[in-house]
Chains A and B, each alone.
Chain A
Amino acid sequence: QVQLVESGGGVVQPGRSLRLSCAASGFTFSSYAMNWVRQAPGKGLEWVAVISNDGTNKYYADFLEGRFTISRDNFKNTLYLVINSLRAEDTAVYYCARGMNGFDIWGQGTMVTVSS
């Protein structure tokens, strides 16, 4: 079945880096744009970034200040998000989601906790 599975979250110290992964299955991964969306505890959804189906185009939320990098490997059917210089305010569940216009498939999310 169509599925997205995130991994790579955990407890990380402030200032460190982290790479999140999203493994896709059940559909032609290389045909779809992919997004990262995050949700801080008890808060709403916050769009983070998108990458086009072939990886040539990327857009980011304004607040990221260049600390986040989205990428993909269409041979491995995997989406990535690298977060550098982690801050407490980056603490959130990070979801990957499929699509450019309306996100029709979501993963279950991976929790990132930034704490010393």
Chain B
Amino acid sequence: EIVMTQSPATLSVSPGERATLSCRASQSVSSNLAWYQQRPGQAPRLLIYGAFTRATGIPARFSGSGSGTDFTLTISSLQSEDFAVYYCQQYNNWPRSFGQGTKLEIK
């Protein structure tokens, strides 16, 4: 099983600033990597797939990069609604696997 490791566990950032979240795979997943946002009490929402392609309706301030084992989600100018938990997920191998999540909180 591919283990996905996200860092940091918690990230404190001020509104309007940039946030950078990391995800590392225990072996190469090529570009088969997705990012999700989960707000409290809500289901996850797909943000990015294919490592860098924004899902339908996702604002341009969200961007993804990386390939192989190292990936980054960048939120360029944080809005109040962006403070949430973010998960990466690989879909290169079975079983599919998620990272443990990064909580983005208001500084």
Contact = CB atoms under 8 A, between A and B. Distances in A.
The winner among A35, A100, A106 for most chain B CB atoms within 10 A is A106
Interface stretch (B17-25, B65-73, B75-83, B96-104): B96-104
| Interface size range on A against B | 20 to 34
Contact of A45 (B46, B56, B91, B101): B101
A106 B100 contact: no
A50 B56 CA distance: 23
Contacts of A101: 32, 34, 49-50, 91
A104 B56 contact: yes
Nearest to B34: A102
A102 B46 contact: yes
Interface string A52-85: 0000000111100000000000000000000000
B34 A44 contact: no
A20 to B, nearest CB: 15
B55 A104 contact: yes
Contact of A107 (B43, B95, B97): B43
A50 B49 CA distance: 18
Interface of A: 35, 37, 44-47, 50, 59-62, 95, 97, 100-104, 106-109
